[in-house]
Amino acid sequence: MVHNGHNNRDLPHGLMIVLRQVSAAIITVVTLRLSMWAFDVNMSDSYQALMIIATLLALILFPSRQQTGLHSSNRVWSASLSLFARWIFFFAILLLLGYGTKTSSIFSRKTLFTWLILTPPLLVMAQVCIDILISRMILSTENVRRVVIAGANNLGQALAKKIDSTPQLGMNVEGFFDDRSEDRLENKSSSPILGTLKNLPEYIRSFGTDVIFIAMPMRNIQRVSELLDRLRDTTASIYFVPDIFVFDLIQCRTADIDGIPVIALCETPFQGTQGIVKKFSDYIIASIVLLLTAPLMLAIAIAIKVSSPGSVIFKQRRYGLDGHEITVYKFRSMKVTEDSGVVKQATQNDERVTRIGAFLRKYSLDELPQFINVLQGRMSVVGPRPHAVAHNEEYRLLVSGYMIRHKVNPGITGLAQVLGYRGETKTVEAMQKRVDYDLEYLRNWSLSMDLRIIMKTISVVFNDKMAY
């Protein structure tokens, strides 16, 4: 009988998820109580309500799914950034709630500031301790699962390397089963060939293997079906590893539609809770920027109006989410306002750029009105930069994966821009590289990644020689 792999050996993984969520909520409330105690603040109805709201937000916002092995230095750093980003977002929501309900003045500023500073390091310490504890449970002898892989092809060998390099999975690869001899394999693996596919069922019955991964091409689905039929009287958990990674996958994940399993090959990262987090962070950041820069924007508008004839705001058609056309705002920086079927990119010493416009473009101040686009829901603070419609129509035929970047709202800044692909794109290869980074952003999005890009953007703006 084929099992789906849910047994007592999976309990540590489920326990880790629960402990992470519960510990985050407990620490959030305990640090608030300690901050109140430090400044002799009494437990009033307002603080009780704050604790309840904080508990619910902590259970929703703080990550519940992370890889084990958090105690390695790279993962501690990555997890710390993620927790810090979510904590700032958490705190921003509370501040907005306080502002919206006009109750922020009730709470002690010293208490809230202490709470803001005290909580993140304790959250990281708790996550590390939980990870170490659960990892030891997973790595104990009785929890390590014995694994064989049907198919010693590139996919099967890549899977074996992943399992071997991640001991926290609690799996040990015993070897492969393949109808080819070792001398016919493209790459050699440290795990041996244990036999042919015909030998696999007998091996499982004789040695009590726990997990079978079938890593055979989808074109051999008939052989896969025959193998599954021969494995029906084993008690091993069986997983099919489809060779879908020959495609350019964006946010690949599994799901089901009323019990029918489906695999997402290309999907937006902003589904469900992640979509809510992204939208809230966009609104919060855009609101703060517009409030802080309002006097500067007014001064820029006056300078543009008195220095050259024409409108203050330049409106240009761009492609937005799902390829729908949107209107993007910028401060006018040129003598012309091109938005036709042919748009010439700005070049160095471009005669169309005004004196005020050159300064604005150098420090990206011409893009400040796009934060209004963010509040309208047309754009995000971070995402693939939108191109003029004319450029889209040109490059979608020349650059592989170009239109996939429209699975999310376009951004004011993006991964490609902070890595140097900003300004004029003189060649198709340069545009391809920009799109490659846009797709990498879609594959690996996180709130902490957005914050790192924003911080990097500030540095790039003052040191970038590509803006003109």
Of 255, 228, 272, 373, nearest in space to 313 by CA: 373
Which pLDDT belongs to residue 384?
Answer: 95
Residue 365 above 90 pLDDT? yes
Which DSSP state fits 397? T
> What is the spatial distance between Cα 14 and Cα 11, in angstroms, rounded to a whole number?
5
> What is the spatial distance between Cα 43 and Cα 32, in angstroms, rounded to a whole number?
11
pLDDT in tens, 163-188: 887 776 778 899 999 988 766 666 56
| Alpha-carbon separation of residue 206 from 202, 212, 220, 315, 405 (angstroms) | 6, 14, 27, 72, 51
Which pLDDT belongs to residue 186?
Answer: 61
Confidence band for 83, pLDDT divided at 50, 70 and 90: confident
The token pair at 431 is 């545009």
- Count Cβ atoms within 10 A of the Cβ of residue 100 and give its class: 0-12 exposed, 13-18 middle, 19 or more buried: exposed
> What is the spatial distance between Cα 71 and Cα 250, in angstroms, rounded to a whole number?
28
Confidence band for 259, pLDDT divided at 50, 70 and 90: confident
Q: Which amino acid is at 266?
A: C
Which pLDDT belongs to residue 415?
Answer: 95
Confidence band for 253, pLDDT divided at 50, 70 and 90: confident
Which pLDDT belongs to residue 184?
Answer: 64
R_g over Cα of the chain: 27
Mean pLDDT of 42-61: 89
Beta carbons of 356 and 307 less than 8 angstroms apart: yes
Average pLDDT, the chain: 83
Residue 214 above 70 pLDDT? yes
> What is the spatial distance between Cα 166 and Cα 157, in angstroms, rounded to a whole number?
14
Q: Is 264 helix (H, G, I), strand (E, B) or coil?
A: strand
The share of the chain scoring above pLDDT 90, in percent, equals 37
> What is the spatial distance between Cα 362 and Cα 465, in angstroms, rounded to a whole number?
8
CA 452, 448, 373, 289 dihedral sign is negative
347 or 46, higher pLDDT: 46
Half-sphere exposure in the Cβ direction for 403 (13 Å, CA): 10
Mean pLDDT of 92-118: 90
Taking the CA atoms of residue 314, residue 316, residue 322 and residue 324 in that order, the dihedral angle to the nearest 10 degrees is 120
Q: Which residues contact 163 (CB under 8 A, 6 or more apart)?
A: 147, 169, 171, 172, 173
Of 127, 124, 123, 61, nearest in space to 90 by CA: 61
Q: Which top CATH class is 144-246?
A: alpha beta
Domain ranges of the chain: 8-139, 144-246, 273-461
DSSP states of 4-35 as a string? -S-SGGGHHHHHHHHHHHHHHHHHHHHHHHHH
Q: Which residues contact 148 (CB under 8 A, 6 or more apart)?
A: 173, 174, 175, 176, 177, 194, 200, 203, 204, 209, 211, 212, 213
- b/e code 331-353 from CB counts within 10 Å (16+ = b): bbbbeeeeeeeebeebeeebeeb
Beta carbons of 300 and 365 less than 8 angstroms apart: yes
Which pLDDT belongs to residue 341?
Answer: 53
Residue 206 above 50 pLDDT? yes
380 or 126, higher pLDDT: 380
Residue 237 above 60 pLDDT? yes
pLDDT in tens, 323-355: 899 999 999 988 766 555 555 555 556 677 888
Comparing 133-142, 215-224, 259-268, the range with the smallest average pLDDT is 133-142
The token pair at 4 is 């789906």
For the chain, the farthest-separated pair of C-alpha atoms sits apart, in whole angstroms, at 87
pTM value surpassing 0.75: no
Q: Is 175 helix (H, G, I), strand (E, B) or coil?
A: strand
> What is the spatial distance between Cα 360 and Cα 89, in angstroms, rounded to a whole number?
30
- b/e code 173-210 from CB counts within 10 Å (16+ = b): bbbbbbeeeeeebeeebebebbbebeebbebbeeeebb
Which pLDDT belongs to residue 16?
Answer: 63
Which pLDDT belongs to residue 4?
Answer: 40
